[in-house]
Amino acid sequence: MKKMMLFFSFLFLYANLIAQDQFTVNSSDDYPDIDLADKVCADKNGNCTLRAAIENANKYPDKTLVFFNIPGIGPHRIKLKKNLPKLTETIILDATTQKDYQPGCLQIILDGAEVRGVTRKQRIENEDLTPTGFKLERNSSGSIIKGFVIGGFGKKIVDPKGRIIEFSMGCGININTENNLIESNFIGVEGDGKTRLPNIFGIYVISENNQIGSYNENERNVISGNWAGMLISSSKNKIIGNYIGTDWTGKKETGQITGLDFSPNGNNNFISSNLISANEYGVEIRSSNITFINNIVGPDVNKNISLPVQKKGIFIRASKENIIGLPGQGNIIAGNETGVYVADRFNPKINFRIFSKNNRISGNFFGTDVEGKLDLGNGIAIHCVGSYSNIIEENIIANSDDTGILLESTQLNIVRYNFIGTDCSGNINLSNGVGIKMIAEDTICAYNTIHDNLFSGNTIAGIEIKNADFNCFYDNKFMSSSKPKASLSSSKYAISLENANENLIGGATPDKKNIIKNYPVGIKIINTKPSDSLIPLISALKQNNKFSACEQSVLTTFK
C-alpha cells in the first residue's frame, strides 16, 4: 500500500513538472510576441523578450517558469515605453538565472523612466495607466519575482527649495493576489545596490499572505531610494530580512521619505529581521495587530553608526494592539530623533480624535545593543502623546539625549520591568537625560502606573513629573545598581514633582515601597503652593519609600 502511495505521489510530482511551461528571455528589447496563437515566445525579430514571455505565460493556467539568458556583458537594461502586461496566471520570474548574476550584483534592470506618467485624475479614472513594473492580478497567486532591479516608475521633481514642481504616481511592484514571494530584488536602486533609481512606491500590497524578503541574507530585497519603500494595505503578509533605506551593504544611506507604511487596512502583518535605517520615517503604522520583532531601526547593519537620522524610527498613529518587540525577540532602535512615537490623530471629517491604544512595546534595546556596548542614543526613546492603555515593559532604555520615556497628555499606560539608564545587569552606566518625563499641556496626563523599574545613571532625574496628576509610582529602584554596594547614579534627583497633585509615590505595604539610594535629593517638590496637605504629603513620602545614603530625602520649594 505504501509503495503504491509513493508511486502515485511520484506520478503527481512528475505530472506537475511536465505541466510547467518554460520560456527563456534572450533579448533586452521590449517588443510584444508576434503571434500568441502559437506556442513560441518570439517577437518580430524572433527573440523572446520579457514582454513576450509574460504574454505567453498568461495563456497557461499552470505555473510557468521565465528564465533569462540574454547574451553579452550585463547588466541588461529593459527600457519600457509602456507598462508590461499584468501577471494574470502563476508565473515564476527568475532573473537570478541570468549569466553573471550574484547577490549584490544584479543583471536585469526593469527601467520605467520612459513610461508616460499620469495625473491624479487620470489615475483615478483608469488605474492601469499608472506606471508599474510588475502588477499581479486575477489568477497569479503563487507567483515569484526575484533577481530584478526595478526603478523609474513614477516621478517627483522638486525645486532647490524642496517644493514639488512635477509629480506622477508610479509603483515598482503592485500585488493584488495572494501567496506571492518577492525576493532578491533591488527596488529603487541600480544593479550596484547603491545608485538611486527611484520609484514613487517601491512595493504596494493590497492582498493577503504574501512574503517580501527572506531570512537568507542573499535573498533579501533592497528597498531604497523611493518616495515610499512599501505601502501595505492588506493583512497576513510577512516582511522579512530586507534592507529598507540603505544600500546593499547596509552601511550607507540611499534613503526615502517612508521606509514601510501600513495603511488603516494593513492589519495583522508580521515584520521581522529587517534593517530599516536612513529613511525620514522608518515605519509608519496606521493599522492594528502588527507584530514587529528582531529588526534594526536607525543604525547601520553592524550597529556601529547612525545613518542619517530618522525623525521617527517607528510612528504608531491612531492605531491599536500592535506589538513592538517581545522578550527575547526585541528590536534594536537607536540613533533616531524619536525611537517609537505613539500618537493620536484628529479626523476632521467626523470631528473626532482617534486614539492609539493597547499597544505593547517590550523587550527592545533603545539606544544600545544586546550587550550594552552600543552608545547610539535616540533623542527620545519612547514618546506617547494623546494615547492610552499602552504597555511599556522589559526594555533597555539607554543613552537618550533628552528623555527615555516621555508620557505627554496620555492616560492609563503601564511602564514596568524596564532598565532605564543602565544595561540589564544594572552595572553599566547608559545615561538618559531624564529617565521618565510626564507632562500635560492641553489635556491631562493621569492614571498612569510606573512600577518595578530600575532607574540608574540618568543625568537629571529618574522621573520628572510636571502638571501630571493621579499617577501611581511604586516598587521602583532608584539606585546606582542592582548590586547594593555599586554606585552609578549621577542624577540630581530620583523624582521631581512640579505642579503635580494627587500622585501616589510608594504604597502602604513594604512591597510597594520605592527604593531610593545614593541621590543628592531623593524627591524634590517644586512650584507647589503650601497647604495643610503638604506636611502630611512629605511625611507619607518618607514613610512609604525607602531612602538610603541620600543627602536629603524630600526637598520642597515654595513658589
Q: Give the pairing type, strands 345-347 and 352-354.
A: antiparallel
The model's pLDDT over 207-254, given as tens digits with 9 standing for 90+, comes to 999 999 999 999 999 999 999 999 999 999 999 999 999 999 999 999
What's the grid cell of residue 204?
504596494
Closest alpha carbon to 211 in 133, 132, 142: 142
Q: Give Cα separations from 333 to 198, 309, 328, 361, 400 (angstroms).
A: 26, 12, 15, 12, 11
Each residue of 490-539: pLDDT tens digit? 578 899 998 888 888 987 777 889 998 888 888 888 875 544 556 677 77
**For residues 267 and 283, what is the distance between their CA atoms, to the nearest angstrom?**
14
Q: In sequence order, which residues have a C-beta less than 8 Å from that of residue 69 and are 6 or more positions away? A: 24, 25, 26, 97, 98, 99
Q: CA–CA separation, 298 vs 289, rounded Å?
A: 23
Give the C-alpha separation, 411 to 230, whole Å.
Answer: 32
Please tell me the number of Cα atoms within 13 Å of 544 on its side-chain side.
Answer: 20
Q: Which three cell numbers stand for residue 512?
A: 510597594
Which amino acid makes up residue 439? I
pLDDT of residue 9: 43
Spell out the per-residue pLDDT of the chain, length 559, in tens. Answer: 445 444 444 443 334 444 458 999 999 999 999 999 998 999 999 999 999 999 999 999 999 999 999 999 999 999 999 999 999 999 999 999 999 999 999 999 999 999 987 666 666 556 677 899 999 999 999 999 999 999 999 977 666 766 665 667 899 999 999 999 999 999 999 999 999 999 999 999 999 999 999 999 999 999 999 999 999 999 999 999 999 999 999 999 998 999 999 999 999 999 999 999 999 999 999 999 999 999 999 999 998 877 888 999 999 999 999 999 999 999 999 999 999 999 987 666 666 677 899 999 999 999 998 888 888 999 999 999 989 999 999 999 999 999 999 999 999 999 999 999 998 877 788 999 999 999 997 678 889 999 999 998 888 999 999 999 899 999 999 975 444 334 445 578 899 998 888 888 987 777 889 998 888 888 888 875 544 556 677 777 878 887 777 777 887 765 4
Residue 201, classed as helix, strand or coil, is strand
Angle (CA) 202-91-113 rounded to 5° is: 35
**Number of helical (H) and strand (E) elements in the chain, helices listed first:** 4, 53
Residue with cell 506636611: 535
